[in-house]
Amino acid sequence: MRQIVLAVVALSLPVLIWAGLPFLPPLGKPLEVHHGGTHYPPSPVPFDRQTIGPPPAGLPLVANVQIVDLDQDGQPEILACDAGRCCLTEYRRHANGEWNETILLADLNAPAHVTPVDIDQDGDMDLILSILGNLYPDDSVVGRVELYEKTPAGYLRHVILDDVRRVADVQPGDFDGDGDLDLAVAVFGYSRGQILWLENLGNLKFRDHELLNAPGTIHVPVADYDGDGDLDIAAIVTQDEEELWGFENLGNGTFQSRRLWFTINLDLGGAGLVQADLDHDGDADLILPAGDNLEDLDAYPQPYHGCYWFENTGGWKFEPHRISDLGGTYAAATGDINADGHLDVVLVSMTNHWSRPENASVVWLENDGKQNFRTWQVASDPIHLVTVAVGDLNSDGRADLVAGGLNMRKPFERMTRVSAWFQLAAPSASPVASRVPVPSSAP
């Protein structure tokens, strides 16, 4: 009998063991998952976030925000290029603190940038729109520069440059010294692009001149970079190139082009170029936010993302310093955030690693006056921010921030169209940390 039982057990055990295997739960310790992205200590300067205008009903695609006193009444307005709604919106602050939205210009095909300027010098602010023509990669001639002339009856549309690839930026300056305002134009394109300057011939007619044939120019900040009294043009060329260019004004509408810097890192992700005298030495420096990796289907912050300060050392030499490692940095703006007399830098991120809720989307870099920067986190919500501006939005004497969201990628959460961060109290002194180490770069 015992043997029969044992035989049954011996026969059935393998079956039971085998049959039971699929039902056994996994009790092993899961492998630790890596999480990238960057976050920082909270800002000692307190901010209060406010959504500007109505909450979005879809996926906001704001390409550019600016703080500007458009009607010159002493109160700043916010302008936003809304590529989703194909319009330029204006936000005005009312006495109750609410910001009302007005669509200033409609039927704009993927506006990348707005440049408020009195182009006809008649005392009011006209608007120049950089029209991509398509927000998504496109190498065809879909770009335009549209000038909206301010008239008593409203804005009057003039197409001043057509038949070019996607246009990302326009900046004014009297380049030929004839007393009127000419324009520098960044034709971003995709595989091909250009940098142009448009000579103002009067009567809102502009003659185009090519400065450089290269794809991916995002911004063309204008300043007297060599201190010789006339206006020059700088440009960041991206895509696979990642080059910083300067166009020295030689007078009479002639320029000498100079490649000021480049990196062989084709994945740096240059995302813009801001001109500011960061070290307060009287010349114009350049600030490069880097972290655009929209060419990947799913972007991820990279170790070389962040912000690079190009210190103008004279004679068209610019020394690069890496001053932030914020993942997915997409835009920079400058302002004296803590009112200590030194110019600080504000950065926003489009593609930090958003799976970690603590990762930063807005930071400011505190400048100790010797250009040592410490990064302070302002926000991790909203995310997908691609544009930022600094200014005193509520006329309380403190620097506030405004940012816009371009929600093209996962996760579709923590979205904003336009958000502002109002500084709450007088800034306090804060400790200083050293710079982030600088990677080598080919001069």
Partner 1 sequence: MRNHVSQQQQFGKLVTLSLLAVIIVELTVGGVLWGRRLLRRPPVLPILQAGDPLFARQLPVLARDAEQRGTTEDWLNLSVALLAQGFYDEAELAFRRVIELDPLNQEGRFGLAFCLDRVGRIEESKPEYHRAIALNSRPNVTDRLSQYAWMALGRNELREEHAAEAEEIFRRTDRFQTQAVQLIKLLIRSGRAAEAMPRLDAALKQFPMSLEFHFLRYRALLELDRPEEAAKVADLFDRLRPTISLNFNTDYVRHYRKRTGFDEAIEEYNQLISDRNMDRMAAVLEELLKEIGTLPVPMASTVQVSLAEVELQRQRSERILELVHTLHLTEVEGADVLQLEGAALQMQGHHAQAVALWERAMQMGPNPQLAEKLAEEADRIKDTRKRDHWRAQAALLQTRELFWNNRIEEALPPVRQALQLDGENPQAWYYLGQVQRVRGDFPAAREAYEKCLQLAPWYGRADAALRLLPAT
Among residue numbers 143 through 182, which ones bind partner 1 (CB under 8 A)? 162-163
Binding residue for partner 1, selected from 121, 151, 191, 395, defined by CB under 8 A: 191
Task: Name which of 20 and 437 has its Cβ closer to partner 1.
Answer: 20
Q: How far is CA 6 from CA 2, 10, 12, 85, 412, in A?
A: 6, 6, 10, 78, 62
95 binds partner 1 (CB under 8 A): no
Contact between 141 and partner 1 per CB under 8 A: yes
Sheet holding 222-223, edge to edge: 222-223, 232-237, 243-251, 254-262
Alpha helix ranges (H) inside 2-108: 2-20
User: What is the smallest separation between the CB atom of 427 and partner 1, expressed in angstroms?
Assistant: 34
6 binding partner 1? (CB under 8 A): yes
Q: Is 302 in the site for partner 1 (CB under 8 A)?
A: yes
| Nearest approach, Cβ of residue 43 and partner 1 (Å) | 26
Does residue 394 bind partner 1 (CB under 8 A)? Answer: no
Torsion angle in degrees (nearest 10) through CA of 238, 137, 275, 438 = -40
User: The tokens 């393998």 sit on which residue?
Assistant: 14
Distance from C-alpha of 55 to C-alpha of 124, rounded to nearest angstrom: 31
DSSP 176: S
Cβ distance to partner 1 smaller for residue 317 or 410:
410
Site residue total, partner 1 (CB under 8 A): 82
- Residue 208 near partner 1 by CB under 8 A: yes
Q: Is position 60 an interface residue for partner 1 (rule: CB under 8 A)?
A: yes
- Residue 116 CB neighbour total at 10 angstroms: 18
CB 330 to partner 1: min, Å: 17
> Largest Cα–Cα distance in the chain?
116
Residue 94 sits in the site that holds partner 1 (CB under 8 A): no
> CB of 125 within 8 A of CB of 114?
no
Site string for partner 1, 329-368 (x = CB under 8 A): --------------------------x-------------
Nearest-angstrom CA–CA distance, 150 and 213: 33
Give how far the C-alpha of residue 108 lies from the chain's centroid of Cα atoms, to the nearest Å. Answer: 20
Which residues, numbered 212-271, are part of the site for partner 1 (CB under 8 A)?
213, 240, 262-267
Question: If binding is defined by CB under 8 A, does position 396 make contact with partner 1?
Answer: no
Tell me the window of 92-100, 166-174, 278-286, 405-413 that interacts with partner 1 (CB under 8 A): 405-413
- Candidate ranges 205-213, 368-376, 381-389, 397-405; the one touching partner 1 (CB under 8 A): 205-213
φ/ψ of 12, rounded to 5, equals -85, -25
